[in-house]
Amino acid sequence: GAGVSQSPSNKVTEKGKDVELRCDPISGHTALYWYRQSLGQGLEFLIYFQGNSAPDKSGLPSDRFSAERTGGSVSTLTIQRTQQEDSAVYLCASSLGVGLQLETQYFGPGTRLLVL
Amino acid sequence: LAKTTQPISMDSYEGQEVNITCSHNNIATNDYITWYQQFPSQGPRFIIQGYKTKVTNEVASLFIPADRKSSTLSLPRVSLSDTAVYYCLVGEIGNFNKFYFGSGTKLNVKP
């Protein structure tokens, strides 16, 4: 079946603009995760959804970042008033759910964001 | 939440066995240990997961001592295509509200 897809694959924007990044998880996966990876760095956890609910949003870097998930499927990560330090690869992952043996994460290819 | 420590990088040659160790001194009772592999310009990919003792699948083995304060990913007979970053992840079952991948171990396989 299809894996996790993300769009756009690349995004170049100007400082101060808003951007929306989209994630389509694997069908049937109830858990969805967003990460950020700066060049040559490890993964920085941003937020996690179980269904449409995000139990903990403290991983989001600032109040310019928000995320939502609708219908237990597609998720959107929005960055308002982008800054140059927001430039990174934004990775989305999904898993069957939460609980024993269910939490293997399947990652998408990422969205490469460049803020000029 | 258990924090992990891994070597920043490792070098190996084709055909050798590679062992990457991860320290997780504060691992909790409900934590599982998972390893992911990431190639350049790709998202991470699940390799193996375990709770204790030894787990083996078609690509790797995972050794976890009785105290579970560390784990070792073993890659048999590596090839050039195994050059990647390997992440050790420790997470609480049923409470995955935060995930810390750390900086990972950059494995460089030479011919």
Provide, as residue numbers in chain B, all residues whose Cβ is less than 8 Å from the Cβ of A41: 103
From the CA of B82, how many Å to the nearest CA of chain A?
18
**Residue A55: its pLDDT value, please?**
79
* Residues with Cβ within 8 Å of residue A53, at least 6 apart in sequence: none
Q: What is the chain B residue with the closest CA to A6?
A: B43
Closest partner residue to A103 among B42, B96, B100, by Cβ?
B96
HSE-CB for A87 with a 13 A CA cutoff: 11
A106 phi/psi in degrees, rounded to 5:
-110, 120
Tell me the sheet residues that pair with B34.
B49, B89
Alpha helices by DSSP H, listed for chain A, are none
Task: Report whether B7 contacts B20 (CB < 8 A).
Answer: yes
Contact A107 B43 (CB under 8 A): yes
Mean pLDDT of the A22-26 span: 97
B81 phi/psi in degrees, rounded to 5:
-70, -10
Tracing tokens 């998202």 back to the chain, one arrives at B43
Identity (one letter) of the amino acid at A56? D
From the CA of A82, how many Å to the nearest CA of chain B?
22
B1 or A90, greater pLDDT: A90
Q: What whole-number distance in Å separates Cα of residue A38 and Cα of residue A52? A: 27
A22 phi/psi in degrees, rounded to 5:
-115, 145
Identity (one letter) of the amino acid at A109? P
Size of interface A-B (CB pairs under 8 A): 62
B94 phi/psi in degrees, rounded to 5:
75, 5
**Residue B40: its pLDDT value, please?**
87
pLDDT in tens, A32-69: 999 999 987 888 889 989 889 887 788 899 999 999 99
Q: Is any Cβ of chain B less than 8 angstroms from the Cβ of A4?
A: yes
pLDDT of chain B, 111 residues: tens digit per residue: 557 899 999 999 999 999 999 999 988 888 888 899 999 888 999 999 899 989 999 999 999 999 999 999 999 999 999 999 999 988 765 555 456 777 799 999 999
**Residue B29: its pLDDT value, please?**
86
Tell me B76's DSSP state.
S
**Residue B30: its pLDDT value, please?**
80
Tracing tokens 């592999």 back to the chain, one arrives at B37
From the CA of B60, how many Å to the nearest CA of chain A?
16
Identity (one letter) of the amino acid at B59? V
Q: Is the pLDDT of residue A29 over 50?
A: yes
Contact B43 A48 (CB under 8 A): no
Q: Is any Cβ of chain B less than 8 angstroms from the Cβ of A99?
A: yes
Q: Is the pLDDT of residue A101 over 80?
A: no
Q: What whole-number distance in Å separates Cα of residue B29 and Cα of residue B95? A: 13
Which of left, alpha, beta for A52 (phi over 0: left; psi -120 to 50: alpha)? alpha
Tell me the sheet residues that pair with B71.
B22
**Residue B97: its pLDDT value, please?**
45
Contact B101 A109 (CB under 8 A): no
Q: Is any Cβ of chain B less than 8 angstroms from the Cβ of A10?
A: no
Tracing tokens 């995004």 back to the chain, one arrives at A11
Report the Cα B66 to chain-centroid distance in Å. Answer: 17
Q: What is the chain A residue with the closest CA to B94?
A: A99
Q: What is the chain B residue with the closest CA to A58?
A: B98
Tracing tokens 């078609």 back to the chain, one arrives at B58
Closest partner residue to A33 among B93, B99, B104, by Cβ?
B99
Q: What whole-number distance in Å separates Cα of residue B75 and Cα of residue B79? A: 10
Band (pLDDT 50/70/90 cuts) for residue A72 is confident
